[in-house]
Copies of this chain bind each other. A is one copy, B any other.
Amino acid sequence: MLQTIRIEEKILGKNEELALRNRQRFDSSGIFAITLSGSPGGGKTSLLECAIPKLQLFLRVGVVEGDIETDQDGRRIAALGCPVTQIVTAGTCHLDAGMVGRALNEMPMDDLDLLFIENVGNLVCPASYSLGEHALVVVISTTEGEDKPLKYPAMFRKADAMVLNKLDLSPYVNVDPAAVEAYARRVRPGLPSFRTSCITWLGIEEWVAWILELRHAWMLEKKHP
């Protein structure tokens, strides 16, 4: 009783040049850039609220916030005392490299060491648009179920790490964190992953340490390419 129809893949393109331009701007300003992508309500902004004060002990941190409507997230991040540019996409379902480039014009590029780009809440479309970031972190929450890496593989395939958030809720949902991780690694073998909670602060230190290490490795690589 189950029929299956496959729709042919569409070819996406030409965002890459602007992404490369963003990357060059990051590199020439000594900014390590990390994009966070994931479903609506997965906790991307909350994770930044947890991590940024710890990162600010070592680094000057800025944020580009993407939202379809409202600057609520931008205001939450600005309260941490770091420069924020809020992109309101007015309906568009993802950030693209051109939007981020315009946002960078508003940022104090010479006074930053680390930039987070928080994408629109969408586990699908943002996977197709590189923004020029050095690392992509996919944020997923335990409440979304175990099977999301298999059902939305593009984002996981492209990601440099997975943050599995809302671990505090895993006792109440029938979700085994190890199963989510196993599915993610089936899609992307070796994917580093972090189990976090913005309520209990589980895993925040580990994620922050990973960010600092990643940036450190990038700095060394720049000096001794």
* Cα A78 to Cα B6 with chains together (Å): 18
* Cα A100 to Cα B10 with chains together (Å): 17
| Copies of this chain, count | 2
Known: A125-B93, A151-B68, A172-B169. A78 touches B1 (CB 8 A): yes
List 17 A–B pairs whose Cβ atoms lie within 8 Å, in order of A's numbering: A2-B71, A2-B85, A5-B85, A5-B87, A6-B90, A40-B144, A68-B153, A69-B153, A72-B150, A93-B122, A121-B123, A121-B151, A122-B122, A122-B125, A125-B125, A143-B169, A172-B172
Binding site for B on A (CB under 8 A): 1-10, 39-41, 67-72, 74-75, 78, 81-93, 99, 102-103, 106, 120-125, 128, 141, 143-145, 147-148, 150-154, 166, 168-169, 172-173
